[in-house]
Every structure is written in structure tokens, then in C-alpha cells.
Structure 1
């Protein structure tokens, strides 16, 4: 896992008004927590930070350069404007090289299951413990040729050396079921309607020519 270097500035203004002024300058307000130290309230360059987080993924590791002092930090929470899709605020947590951290890592489903099946992803992330500078960006789970009835559990996901599973081993990650036919769906609907006492109206008689 590579680190991304970001040059930061300390900020002394807080509140919504200050945050808006920072964003107008194409910068991002951020806070760095961790290791018993007081939180650092920073301003980060907008474009560089956005690209670093895109490249590093959900657990991007940043080298924060604050007046020549380097702070190694892991992204913890990223707030994104729902309309403009730009970063609004970033929370980071300080880490130390060699330190183990617990993080949620995305699960990527690859391959194509057998015909006439439905693939349901029950959990999109796995919680693992890994060294702070060696956090996997994602875990690949192959469903190539998987038949109906196939279930993939957390314990079956291959983890790189040095990474330990924290999620319960029997947690269901992927469930492959038989695809329901239109006839079966209609029969199931009619059965449910019958149980609920719903009666369908009889088709109207053709009165043409009367």
C-alpha cells in the first residue's frame, strides 16, 4: 500500500462560514485524530487530496506534511457533496509504521456465475486487522461458473499474508440462487393474493354488437 504525500496548513477558523471560505479556495477542511494527541485542524489542497483518496481507496494512507513535520494518517471518514460530488471534509487518524489497525476493506465480485442464477452480495466489506502501511485495497471473490446454491463465507475469502479476519468467519458474503422464472413469480403472487383473500375481477364480457 503506497502513501500519498499531501502538504497541509493549520487552520484557526472554524464553523460553517470558515468551511465555506476554505472550499471556495479549492481547499478542504480536515481533522487528524489519534495517539492521545490533541486533534489537528488542517486545510488540505482540494485536487491533490481528492486524487489521493481516489487512488488509495476507502483506506487511503496519507503523509501529511505540516511545516516539514510528517504525520502518517489513515482516512477514517470522507464527506462528499451529494450533488457536486466534491470533497467537503475529511477525518483522518494518525498511525505509526508497523502498527496494526482494524479497517473495513471492500469486497469485489469477479467472474460470471452459471446461467439462470441470481448473485446476491450480502456483505460488501470485510473487517480485517492489518499493518497500517499494508492495508489491502480490496478482496476479490470469484463466482466464475458458480451454480445455484453456492454460498461464499467470510472465512473462504483469501487474505494476503499479515492480514487477519475480524468479521465473524461464518458471515455470508455472496449467495448464488436459482433465477426465478416469470411463471414461478406469477404463481407465487397468486398464492400470496389467495392467502390474503384478494380476489381478482373476472374479465369483462365482450358486449360488442349488443
Structure 2
């Protein structure tokens, strides 16, 4: 685990919307830790640091909890204010080093398809099983030089070492096609119309 994922967490004993509002006003984020048959633990996290970390999908936080030692957690849910986009609450799942977890990983296209074609991303995420401490930030799919009609399925995507594909291997991830702009046909129709008008 890298140093930037180590987070100091404070135990919370007070609850309710009013207390949560005061926490956020102080630059902290209310969170709950659960999983592995343990009782839920309510904590407050440093807002700015955690906001930067969870920009990455499936972020793992190494919490240093006062009085309870270190705890490895996976960010499972982030609740935001729909208007102001302020993080209101985070759900954290307890994970163990070496343990495998099921997560959805964003698909990112790399390169350029053949001239005149466009790449249609059909599957924006793929579900995989990976070690909790080795979760990839994204899955890169190269479309460099692919021609019209080419397609890539989930089975074609290269996964990081130790990861297993859980999505249907036949799921279409990317399809390459030539956009039907219709401009040439429109031009021909316009030309024909003009010819008819001239003949009259």
C-alpha cells in the first residue's frame, strides 16, 4: 500500500444529521466500516485527503483508527449532495491483504481507430475479481488502427495479473464503425432537385 492511502480516522460516537453537518463543516466526512462479521464502526475521515483518493474508482484506504489500530478498507459507496456535489457519507468494506474482492472496473480506450471510423464503447465497466490491494484503476483497451467492423469482447480485454473476469466473456466492449453522416446522399438529392428545377 502506498503512503498516500494511509488515512487517520477518528471514532464517532455521536450520530444524526445535525452532527454529520457539523462534521462536514469542520472539513471531515462521516463514514461507516462494515464487513467480515464485525460490528459497524462509525468514523470521521479528513475531507480533503479522502476526496482526492476516492477520485480513483475502487479506492482502498488504509485507516489508522485511534485506539483500534490499522484497518484496510475498500470504498463501496460514496453519497454526495446532488446539487453541491459535497461528499455526505462513505461506506467502507473491511478487506484483508491478499483477499480477493469483486469490483466493476472502468474501461478506457487507448489509441486511434482507422481514419474515418469511430469507436463505440458499449461496456463502460467490466466486473472482475482482484486482490483488494491490487485493484487496477482502469482496464485499457487498445483500438489503434482497427478497421470498420472490428469489435472487442470482454474475453479480448487483457486483465492485470491475478485478476479474473466475471463479466460474460461475450459482452461487446467496443465496436468500430464508419459514421453514416448522410451528407453525400443529401448533396446528391440537392443536385437532383436543382437539375429538375432547371429542366422545368
- In the superposition, the TM-score normalised over structure 2's length comes to 0.86
Segments of structure 1 that go 5 or more residues without pairing to the other structure are 187-210
Q: CA RMSD in A?
A: 1.9
Segments of structure 2 that go 5 or more residues without pairing to the other structure are 187-200
- Report the equivalent of 1:48: 49
1:7-18 equivalent positions in 2, closer than 5 A = 7-18=8-19
Deviations along 1:96-129, one digit per CA (max 9) or x if unpaired, are 0111111111111111111222221111111111
- Report the equivalent of 1:25: 26
- In the superposition, the TM-score normalised over structure 1's length comes to 0.82
- Report the equivalent of 1:135: 135
Q: 1:133 and 1:118 mapped to 2: Cα distance? A: 36
Aligned residue-pair number: 185
Compare 124-133 and 175-184 and name the one that shifted more: 175-184
TM-aligned CA deviation for residue 182 of structure 1: 2.3
Contact 2:105/2:139 (<8 A) preserved:
yes
SS at match of 1:17: helix
TM-aligned CA deviation for residue 18 of structure 1: 1.7
1:154 aligns to 2:163 (yes or no): no
Q: 1:133 and 1:177 mapped to 2: Cα distance? A: 38
Q: 1:88 and 1:80 mapped to 2: Cα distance? A: 5
- Report the equivalent of 1:112: 112
Q: 1:123 and 1:185 mapped to 2: Cα distance? A: 32
